[in-house]
Amino acid sequence: MIAYIERFVHEDVESVPDPESAEQEGDVLPLFNGVNLNGTVEFAGCGSAAGSDFGGVQFSKPLAVIRPSNSEDVAKVIRLASRSPHLTVAARGNGHSVNGQAMAHRGLALDMKAIESKIEVDPATAQADVSGGALWEDVLKRCVLDYGLAPRSWTDYLGLTVGGTLSNAGVSGQTFIYGPQSENVTELEVVTGNGDVLVCSRNQNSELFFSVLGGLGQFGIITRARVLLQPSPDMVKWIRVVYTEFSEFTRDAEFLVTLEEGDSFDYVEGFVFVNSDDPVNGWPSVPMDSNQFFDPTHIPRTAGPVLYCLEVALHYNNVEPPSAVDTRVERFMGRLRYVEELRFEVEVGYMEFLLRVKRAEEEAKANGIWDAPHPWLNLFVSKTDIANFDRLVFKNILKHGVGGPMLVYPLLRSKWDNRKSVALPEGEIFYLVALLRFCLPYPKGLSVQEMVVQNQQIVQICTKNGFDFKLYLPHYTSNESWKHHFGNQWTRFQDRKASFDPMAILAPGQKIFPRNW
């Protein structure tokens, strides 16, 4: 079928043509002549959803948004771009990046969700073949409801695409057991920057496999992933406990994540909150349902401006007697040093647990804070520097909170295969720090500029104090910064680019390699 080409006309103020993009749109139109796509093309000179993202800080204008039907369409678009000296191609998953990483300024945006979502489960091998543009929440529902199986490793929020999280890592409270999501796939179908459609795994086209996982979209577009599954439990016991001392919080969190495999909780995370009655950032952010109350009289007067919450979860099945579940829970809880009176717990269905952020999304949408800008900052900070990070950042710069969760929990480097492209701090234990800013639109909340400046200040503190840290979901604009980010992996990263996307067509929004570098 000949591509359906539709000229997108905006009726708002942005309909004034941009002379630069109009010129290039003229250049690109003939390139589509004779290209038989099964999907559709929308020439979006004045912008579209592909021109913004969840961050709401960066905006750009793709020349066209392509809705591919299959991998062959993706390959055709890449080959088409290679015939022009300047065109780039960005796979856009669900656009939940915060710094324009999925954008293609005056390039071609591929809407990966348009590819028919395929989720094929093979119960015999406990694996699922899923399309790169499938949302993790759809993968969850299909696997659990139809097969009683589920992926092993998750992100906290599941409105993200499989290709989008695999291109970064995909971390959550299960990562200490199974590694990130990128460690839980056994095979990929990838369209490289050379326009080749290749299947890869640890044993087949292995260099491509390792490159693409955590590869920030630089080497290929993931059109299918084979995801490892395990039996899904019926229920989850979900517990939060409070600490006043960071050293005790980290001691207990590290104790839980370093227990023998299979002999700990099924999920371990943590967060920092403000030692005040602030409804968003303070004590009320800890209780898990409306019947629970955070009684601040249990906080010693000597406590600092912030407190810490360890969050754990244990899976169980309905056939297991409640006393047996309690025994399993108390075996671990009994060894922790939290403030005893500040323990909160609920029992929820497994899917409800994994879809917990969806409920927060619904509330945030109703309050107007979901669509406001989100200058988020995500870091991996080595265990050796996390106490200083707490002192200089949480207890100081962020002592009033960020208007949303400030996650901090330990991960284990040995669960990450270093042949993959992700850059990590040295040392076995490092912490994910996620500053998930949810602010009311300015002037009710902080201005975007103030939030961005605060993020820069935090990164500068880490740098100036020589912390061993890496940005997660990194965002840099200079080649020098990227070199520094990858450190001794930079040469390998460059070599991989030269092999799989030598013209630097892919993922221009990451700003790592200019076209024809």
Q: Tell me the catalytic residues.
A: 96, 156, 269
Query: Is 510 one of the binding residues for ligand FAD (CB under 6 A)?
Result: yes
Query: Is 160 one of the binding residues for ligand FAD (CB under 6 A)?
Result: yes
Query: Is 95 one of the binding residues for ligand FAD (CB under 6 A)?
Result: yes
Which residue lies nearer to ligand FAD by CB, 108 or 286?
Answer: 108
Query: Is 88 one of the binding residues for ligand FAD (CB under 6 A)?
Result: no
* DSSP assignments along 104-115, one per residue: -TTSEEEEGGGS
Least distance (Å) from ligand FAD to the CB of residue 304?
27
Query: Is 158 one of the binding residues for ligand FAD (CB under 6 A)?
Result: no
- Residue 431 makes CB contacts below 8 A (sequence gap 6+) with 380, 381, 382, 383, 386, 389, 408, 409, 410, 411
Query: Count of alpha carbons within 13 Å of 273, Cβ hemisphere only?
Result: 26
Least distance (Å) from ligand FAD to the CB of residue 373?
12
Least distance (Å) from ligand FAD to the CB of residue 390?
21
Which residue lies nearer to ligand FAD by CB, 97 or 127?
Answer: 97
Which residue lies nearer to ligand FAD by CB, 190 or 307?
Answer: 190
Query: Is 509 one of the binding residues for ligand FAD (CB under 6 A)?
Result: yes
Least distance (Å) from ligand FAD to the CB of residue 409?
11
Residue in the structure block whose two tokens are 């695999």: 166
CA distances from 367 to 34, 360, 361, 363, 371 (A): 48, 11, 10, 6, 9
Instruction: Evaluate whether 143 touches 136 at the Cβ level (below 8 Å).
Output: no
Site string for ligand FAD, 448-477 (x = CB under 6 A): -------------------------x----
Q: Give the count of residues interacting with ligand FAD (CB under 6 A).
A: 36
Instruction: Evaluate whether 412 touches 258 at the Cβ level (below 8 Å).
Output: yes
CB-closest chain residue to ligand FAD = 163
The total of other beta-carbon atoms located within 10 Å of residue 106's CB is: 22
User: Pairing relation of β-strands 64-67 and 40-43?
Assistant: antiparallel
What order do you get walking across the sheet with 64-67 strand by strand?
4-7, 40-43, 64-67, 108-111, 89-92
Least distance (Å) from ligand FAD to the CB of residue 509?
6
The total of other beta-carbon atoms located within 10 Å of residue 6's CB is: 12
* Neighbouring-strand partners of residue 192: 220
Instruction: Evaluate whether 343 touches 239 at the Cβ level (below 8 Å).
Output: yes
Window contacting ligand FAD (CB under 6 A); options: 2-10, 35-43, 151-159, 453-461: 151-159
Phi first, then psi: give them for residue 72, nearest 5 degrees: -65, -40
Site string for ligand FAD, 161-190 (x = CB under 6 A): x-xxx-xxxxxx------------------
Cα separation, 156 vs 357, in Å, equals: 7
Residues 110-129 contacting ligand FAD, CB under 6 A: 112
Nearest to 53 by CA among 9, 90, 8: 90
Window contacting ligand FAD (CB under 6 A); options: 217-225, 237-245, 265-273, 278-286: 217-225
Which residue lies nearer to ligand FAD by CB, 336 or 448?
Answer: 448
Query: Is 250 one of the binding residues for ligand FAD (CB under 6 A)?
Result: no
- Per CB under 6 A, the list member of 221, 227, 236, 329 interacting with ligand FAD is 221
**In the complex, which residues of this chain contact ligand FAD (CB under 6 A)?**
53-54, 90-97, 101-102, 112, 132, 155-157, 160-161, 163-165, 167-172, 216-217, 221-222, 473, 507, 509-510
